[in-house]
């Protein structure tokens, strides 16, 4: 199953669902598609990254995703919410955020609903 990308146009949220395992081919396709969406949005937007199905993120993927996050912030990403199901996944998400040196608000959630609510209502912080 490849990465799923949905753009919530009204909320200016790019919603990505990771597959259970990441193959090099899927990664290459994802990077191409996500960069196109980021450039298309032009301006401020937020990210919802659902990693709840992902079992283990290989070290090389962490570095690639950190680089992508830095690119995204440089191209208008103003908030980032990640959905994880366990502490190991949460640690991976934190490592990736730290490696990308993100300066935007970033949070980890256990449900998509909570993540979307946080992204849609930034004044609730």
What CATH code is carried by the domain that includes residue 96? Answer: 3.30.750
Lowest mean per-residue pLDDT among 24-28, 34-38, 57-61:
57-61
Residue 32 domain-assigned (yes or no): yes
Parent domain of 15: 4-120
Dihedral angle sign, alpha carbons of residues 63, 57, 122, 43: positive
Q: What confidence tens digit (pLDDT) does each residue in 4-27 have?
A: 999 999 999 999 999 988 888 899
Indicate the number of domains in the chain: 1
> Which tens digits make up the pLDDT trace of 87-125?
666 566 666 666 667 789 989 899 999 999 999 987 765
Report yes or no on 43 lying in a domain: yes
CA distance 81 to 79: 7
What pLDDT score does 89 carry?
60
Looking at residue 119, its pLDDT comes to 96
125 in a domain, yes or no?
no
Asked if residue 28 is part of any domain, the answer here is yes
Instruction: Establish if 62 belongs to a structural domain.
Output: yes
Least confident of 35-39, 40-44, 59-63, 98-102: 98-102
């Amino acid at each position: 199953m490849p990465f799923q990308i949905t753009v919530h146009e009204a909320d200016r949220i790019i919603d990505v669902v990771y597959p259970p395992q990441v193959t090099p081919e899927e990664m290459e396709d994802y990077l191409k598609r996500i960069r196109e969406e980021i450039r298309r949005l032009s301006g401020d937007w937020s990210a919802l990254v659902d990693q709840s199905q992902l079992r283990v993120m290989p070290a090389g993927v962490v570095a690639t995703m950190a680089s992508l996050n830095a690119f995204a912030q440089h191209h208008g990403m103003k908030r980032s919410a990640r959905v994880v199901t366990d502490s190991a996944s949460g640690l991976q998400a934190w490592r990736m955020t730290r490696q990308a040196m993100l300066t935007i608000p970033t949070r980890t959630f256990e449900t998509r609903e909570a993540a979307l609510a946080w992204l849609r209502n930034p004044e609730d912080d």
